Structure 1
């Protein structure tokens, strides 16, 4: 016989029933007495074209109005043990709140502003002086002043209704076979040397969730919208997944034409998913990472100028969210703040390298985030930590704010670079300390990047017509410049013997080709036997694949964005070096190009020279002109 339930148990059951009867519909649907799916904004409000008024009443406090006895019983109830799934779900909701709260503000979130504004802006001043956090003056202040976006859907595409948006999303979803094949290449080959993803563990967990949902059939039917995958946050994650597949396809082992086609297709689908997620009007952390990976993939395809333009948009969106300053993230959860710091450091990484290559002014700043004090003291920095610190230092070098002379700044920058390099782990400093393949690759990658930085710092001395032994600073810079060009070439040759990374990474290809060209034309190195040997070996690496392709009728797996015309230009340069080595003539003879026909160059015609005397040195200049024409003008 069952025992009679106590009054406390009856009260508990009644409270639960009362909670079930609480209104779950938004205010417009409840007013019209129509069905509401409980999302924000709900599908009914979207169909009626007024998602901006889809609001929910704050939940009633179940403790309000309860008797003192009931409150006393509740205070002694053992708290419910945390559910791991619930904790994970809450973490995901907190992570997405940064991007979504500004898009769909609720009345109780009126005091929260996730669109960054500086302390001196009108928005910040009025908000700081508001006596009430829910003051109507600050609730919609951004919209009133025209400082906040209002479009809930991306306006520059045809998908308007939720049904059209869902159908368009299904058309670009990554298939299970694509994820399993190409994400591995990104994870193992691309990510270790350009870690754009700020939280790889979290990303892989979300990817597993996606694969399970895909296998369960949640993403198959056009007439059945799955709400959890139709949200902007989920679509943003899908765009990020597609971006990693584009990068993975670029580093895969398939033939170059198919590799280029696949990488381009993944990038196209990723960008379409970005539009579905309304990336330009509602940026999120996933969207910022997606744009960074797509920009880096464009670089690796040889489209670095387009990557430069896309990076500018990415940086502005990141600044919209306040990622560039630590103060704007104080109200966020700690793990999100850590992720944000890492993400902004990655943006600095991308911008600083592009700025060095183009000698253009940077957009990013590092003053908004304080350096980790522990990082400044440590002498066992990892590859990623050294690269983050290196790129931060590069910004100080390419954007000087001191009154020192150009040579003084260069010497000071070299000292800082040397100090940072010596704080890395042993295998990063000395290759003999490497014990694994990954350590060898990290050592060579850092050697290439640091050597390129040194060569950029020393270029003021390289531009001088001749050495000046009586001046100490120029001589030091010229010696360091020569050593950096040699080190960069050697590191590339050793790196490409172990991995496809240097032949597929635009920054590394640019580093070795620019170093080779400078070794060719600089008077301090062009007659040096050691430098000439390095030039020959580098040119052989790029020209050998083209030779094998022509002879075997196939496509070399290591081929990348250098076209056949680029390879032909390098072969011409190699021939010019051979002729110069055989001739051994004086170097100060005058020459002048008579014609430089772009069409003729493309068809393989000769470049003619007028000279007071016909010296074999003309072949060197001929090769250099053709090489520079193809590599930097076409």
Structure 2
């Protein structure tokens, strides 16, 4: 009989595990971490609340997994106690939550989603509320310092990076660059193209203008694309009359016998110099619009030359001492051009000049209304230039989370103006929306770590919902657009409204004073609003160049996409459907448009595109190409 030996039990081949990453405090100090939660180092240094791990890189240990499941079970009991139902996994609240996960355009969530996912979401929201702090960093390429408040989406995205792998953003770039908050192009408005020792003549100014045909082309582009959405010049007919006079001078300048070239520009009346400055500003904005529609990169250089010429005319007119409405109009158009060119900080500096001059002229005071009511709340009681200043201040202060520089009345009176009005236009609704944003930005004050209570956020959400109902009512031109321009206005207002409402829902989701179920519902509402921002932006891009040109529209869509892609990569859930299939390619065209030969650093738009593509790769594992057609 052949003896048999008992074979040892066959063991499965062990997979080689890569070394887990330490918690952020230990990794920053380059000290040993025992990978506990919290680790001994963080406990010894008395900051256990800072100890966290990347859920994508560090697998849960057995005891941690059981502890996590116990936490999920306790969360289930808490929600079930607030919403008792025989089957808590099929309760109406949770069914609505599952449906809200689906987002738009084909997004789906598996039917076996448990409250364990909701518990993970709550942990992420708590971490975001705790680690979203104000930042003051120096850009590695330009060397410029940028301050961003703790409530800005850029710093909320920075807090989410701790859950994502390293190099999620491109190397040697910052979060501010990914969100387009740094000046990455040459800033032309505060320099002179002429020799400082030379005496500028009228001929020098006229020779800086393009041909008469080009001037008319740029003016028509400004009139049709930029002016309807940001009306700064109230009387376009009077401006056209002055443009015809200047074109006649331009034709006369071509004759060598003309003596206008010998006249010093400083000897011109101040009003004449300011009109030249306004003309150059309009040409710069119109040239920028032609750059979007035609794609000629040489127009970017021409636009910046027009900006420099406009500011030179303002300097000759001594605009710092004697302000005028034409001076304010010029500064606002130049600020908008610089903002669209990727220089938002320069625009904030110019906005400060415009605010001081407007207050010096008393434009911030209420105007007389023709209704004759003692307590008038009509939208037209504010000067048009002051309304334009407030809208620009709202856009810039919101994305940076800085204190606004334009004071305003209470938000209730702003809504009351819409309720009392018999007919509402696009500008009326947009002004009230940005007035609410100004009030929201003023809540934090100078304390960058101040937290806003949940009931305050809920009140602003009610005001925004009320504003949306008024804008969709029969007395508003946005309710049923009957022209292409009205359709574009409706889309643009929807982007601004949903973006602000999405921001409010995000802050309500990370507010620790709310219940867990309420925070999850606000998170779903935030996803829905940000998806609406992206889908509406895509429609706007197909209909008008304003979608690609306007900086505030690009930053709203890009910020929404970056945050949604971050949550999708962390939670491994499709929240946005098929929206990301088109967005990277469309945004890459903006990145290619801003690349021209004199740019000192990589475009900030390209940094945001690369970050978004990296997030999409983390979610799907498939490389995302956005430059297939780029030459």
Is residue 206–residue 253 contact of structure 2 (8 Å, CA) maintained in 1?
no
Is residue 519–residue 526 contact of structure 1 (8 Å, CA) maintained in 2?
no
2:389 to 347, 363, 366: 347
Cα distance change of structure 1 residues 535 and 380 upon mapping to structure 2, 3 Å threshold: farther
SS in 2 for 1:522: helix
Worse overlay, 164-173 or 477-486? 164-173
SS in 1 for 2:443: coil
Structure 2 counterpart of 1:302? 342
Structure 2 counterpart of 1:581? 620
Structure 2 counterpart of 1:210? 246
TM superposition shift of 1:487: 0.8
What do the CA deviations read for 1:294-321 (whole angstroms, capped 9, x no partner)? Answer: 0110010011111112211221122222
Q: Which of the pair has the greater relative contact order for Cα pairs under 8 Å at 6+ separation?
A: 2
Is residue 365–residue 382 contact of structure 2 (8 Å, CA) maintained in 1?
no
Structure 2 counterpart of 1:358? 400
1:399 to 421, 439, 442: 442
1:570 to 597, 609, 613: 609
1:541 aligns with 2:586: yes
Structure 1 counterpart of 2:530? 485
Cα distance change of structure 1 residues 580 and 417 upon mapping to structure 2, 3 Å threshold: closer
Cα distance change of structure 1 residues 321 and 241 upon mapping to structure 2, 3 Å threshold: same
Q: Distance in 2 between matches of 1:312 and 1:278?
A: 17
TM superposition shift of 1:229: 9.2
TM-score (norm 2): 0.57
1:409 aligns with 2:456: yes
Structure 2 counterpart of 1:507? 552
After superposition, residues 303-452 of structure 1 pair within 5 angstroms as 303-326=343-366, 341-367=383-409, 375-378=418-421, 380-400=423-443, 406-424=453-471, 433-452=480-499
Worse overlay, 213-222 or 350-359? 213-222
- Residue ranges of structure 1 left out of the alignment (5+ in a row): 1-154, 330-337, 584-618, 624-634
What do the CA deviations read for 1:215-252 (whole angstroms, capped 9, x no partner)? Answer: 56699524664999921111101111110110111111
SS in 1 for 2:358: helix
Is residue 201–residue 262 contact of structure 2 (8 Å, CA) maintained in 1?
no
Q: Distance in 1 between matches of 2:489 and 2:307?
A: 27
SS in 1 for 2:587: helix
TM superposition shift of 1:254: 3.1
Q: Distance in 1 between matches of 2:265 and 2:566?
A: 62
Q: Distance in 2 between matches of 1:159 and 1:328?
A: 45
After superposition, residues 243-254 of structure 1 pair within 5 angstroms as 243-252=281-290, 253-254=293-294
Cα distance change of structure 1 residues 195 and 230 upon mapping to structure 2, 3 Å threshold: same
Cα distance change of structure 1 residues 206 and 415 upon mapping to structure 2, 3 Å threshold: farther
Q: Distance in 2 between matches of 1:561 and 1:382?
A: 42
Is residue 380–residue 423 contact of structure 1 (8 Å, CA) maintained in 2?
no
Worse overlay, 246-255 or 212-221? 212-221
Q: Distance in 2 between matches of 1:177 and 1:479?
A: 52
What do the CA deviations read for 1:145-192 (whole angstroms, capped 9, x no partner)? Answer: xxxxxxxxxx9998899x855455445456523321101111001111
Q: Distance in 2 between matches of 1:328 and 1:561?
A: 49
Is residue 159–residue 165 contact of structure 1 (8 Å, CA) maintained in 2?
no
TM superposition shift of 1:355: 0.3
TM superposition shift of 1:491: 0.6
TM superposition shift of 1:425: 5.9
TM-score (norm 1): 0.56
SS in 1 for 2:286: helix
Q: Distance in 2 between matches of 1:307 and 1:556?
A: 20
SS in 2 for 1:435: coil
- Residue ranges of structure 2 left out of the alignment (5+ in a row): 1-191, 370-379, 626-631
Q: Distance in 1 between matches of 2:562 and 2:556?
A: 10
Cα distance change of structure 1 residues 487 and 311 upon mapping to structure 2, 3 Å threshold: same
Cα distance change of structure 1 residues 165 and 315 upon mapping to structure 2, 3 Å threshold: farther
2:327 to 256, 280, 287: 287
1:264 aligns with 2:309: no
Q: Distance in 2 between matches of 1:223 and 1:534?
A: 56
Is residue 242–residue 269 contact of structure 1 (8 Å, CA) maintained in 2?
yes
Is residue 426–residue 478 contact of structure 2 (8 Å, CA) maintained in 1?
no
Is residue 173–residue 238 contact of structure 1 (8 Å, CA) maintained in 2?
no
Is residue 174–residue 242 contact of structure 1 (8 Å, CA) maintained in 2?
no
Q: Distance in 1 between matches of 2:475 and 2:542?
A: 18
Is residue 253–residue 261 contact of structure 2 (8 Å, CA) maintained in 1?
no
Cα distance change of structure 1 residues 438 and 427 upon mapping to structure 2, 3 Å threshold: farther
What do the CA deviations read for 1:116-164 (whole angstroms, capped 9, x no partner)? Answer: xxxxxxxxxxxxxxxxxxxxxxxxxxxxxxxxxxxxxxx9998899x85
2:280 to 242, 247, 263: 242
Cα distance change of structure 1 residues 169 and 254 upon mapping to structure 2, 3 Å threshold: same
1:531 aligns with 2:576: yes
Cα distance change of structure 1 residues 371 and 174 upon mapping to structure 2, 3 Å threshold: farther
Cα distance change of structure 1 residues 521 and 374 upon mapping to structure 2, 3 Å threshold: closer
Counting matched residue pairs gives 414
Q: Distance in 1 between matches of 2:360 and 2:236?
A: 24
Q: Distance in 2 between matches of 1:526 and 1:430?
A: 41
Q: Distance in 2 between matches of 1:432 and 1:324?
A: 30
Q: Distance in 2 between matches of 1:269 and 1:186?
A: 18
The structure with more radius of gyration: 1
SS in 2 for 1:443: helix
Q: Distance in 2 between matches of 1:269 and 1:497?
A: 33
Worse overlay, 452-461 or 178-187? 452-461
Structure 2 counterpart of 1:58? none
Is residue 386–residue 421 contact of structure 1 (8 Å, CA) maintained in 2?
no
TM superposition shift of 1:214: 4.5
What do the CA deviations read for 1:360-392 (whole angstroms, capped 9, x no partner)? Answer: 001111249997986541264211111112112
Q: Distance in 1 between matches of 2:513 and 2:564?
A: 15
Structure 1 counterpart of 2:41? none
Worse overlay, 420-429 or 199-208? 420-429
What do the CA deviations read for 1:507-535 (whole angstroms, capped 9, x no partner)? Answer: 11101110001102236995443515223
1:454 to 486, 493, 501: 501
Structure 2 counterpart of 1:277? 317
What do the CA deviations read for 1:412-435 (whole angstroms, capped 9, x no partner)? Answer: 111112222222366998989333
